[in-house]
Amino acid sequence: MRIQFHRAASEELAGAASWYEAQQPGLGDDLLHEIDRALLTIDESPQAWPMLRAEAGLRRFLLSRFPHAIIYDCVKNAVRVFAVAHNRRRPGYWRARRFQ
Over residues 58-86, mean pLDDT: 94
> CA 29, CA 82: separation in Å to the nearest integer?
21
Residues 6+ apart with CB under 8 A from 43: 1, 3, 79
Question: What domains can you pick out in the chain, each with its CATH number?
Answer: 2-86 (3.30.2310.20)
Tens digit of each residue's pLDDT (9 = 90 or more) over 74-99 = 988 899 999 999 988 887 777 778 87
Mean pLDDT score, 66-80:
93
pLDDT tens-place string over residues 15-41: 999 999 999 999 999 999 999 999 999
pLDDT confidence of residue 95: 78
Structure letter (DSSP) for residue 50:
P
Positive or negative, the CA dihedral 93, 63, 66, 4 is negative
Does position 43 have pLDDT exceeding 70, yes or no? yes
